[in-house]
Amino acid sequence: MKQNIEHKARILGTGTWISLGSPIVTEVISMMQFDWLLFDLEHGFMQEHDILPNLMAVKSSGTKVIVRVSEFRSGLIARLLDWGVAGIMMPHVSSSEEAARVVGAMRYPPFGKRGFSSSSRSFGYGENAPRNITEWEPPLFIAQIENYEGVQNANSIAATEGVDMLFVGPRDLRLDLSVRKSADERIPFQEAISLTVKAAISSGKQAGILVSPEEDISDLCVMGFSAFAIGADLAVLRSGYKRIKV
């Protein structure tokens, strides 16, 4: 059964990576007019218990918070969504089956297996609980493409009901392609991201990528990328201090 959602209303634009776990840092960043913030539970210093105070620190109600989990844990995914995050990013998605499993953990029956609580923070502690589950807008799901298998299966992953975006993890994807034993699997990085973008667009989904603040994204825009995570809190902090002459 499909849950029909107007995809245009779910588009993400410019975001940034947050991994330090400091609510003060998150509060300051949230004042910078980003469309979305990525809280990173895969790498960095943010822990599960840091998510809620960092969510509360986000100033703008229009800023969407996405959490990247480190692995598939249905209970954790449901709890993060109950706390009020706008979506989930899953790293190293290699198949449509993996993508569908995450979607199932994010959505309520009959569209998934997530447990329902009307008093969760995501529903205003009971004030905004949906009367009809078919009118509820499900959270965003961003599937990261970070290996050869993910690139090869990008079309079926993008076509999976509930996937909103294919997001290239450039460092992991470069690494994976470079260490492949078979020469046929060591495809050029640019070819890999081109295949990923085309797969996303062909299914009417977004393509996203992580870039540095200094990077020229014009070629990426021409290629079809429409969502960008620009920099990370730790890197921006470090580069800012490096510019100070002591």
Reading the chain (246 residues) residue by residue, the pLDDT tens digits are 344 444 444 679 999 999 999 999 999 999 999 999 999 999 999 999 999 999 999 998 899 999 999 999 999 999 999 999 999 999 999 999 999 999 999 999 999 999 999 999 999 999 988 888 777 889 999 999 999 999 999 999 999 999 999 999 999 999 999 999 998 899 999 999 999 999 999 999 999 999 999 999 999 999 999 999 999 999 999 999 999 988
The total of other beta-carbon atoms located within 10 Å of residue 157's CB is 28
Task: Answer yes or no: are the C-beta atoms of 166 and 141 closer than 8 Å.
Answer: no
Task: Answer yes or no: are the C-beta atoms of 199 and 158 closer than 8 Å.
Answer: yes
pTM greater than the 0.85 cutoff: yes
Asked whether the CA dihedral 112, 210, 32, 44 is positive or negative, the reply is: positive
Task: Answer yes or no: are the C-beta atoms of 140 and 88 closer than 8 Å.
Answer: yes
Task: Answer yes or no: are the C-beta atoms of 39 and 47 closer than 8 Å.
Answer: no
Task: Answer yes or no: are the C-beta atoms of 196 and 152 closer than 8 Å.
Answer: no
Q: What residues are labeled active site?
A: 43
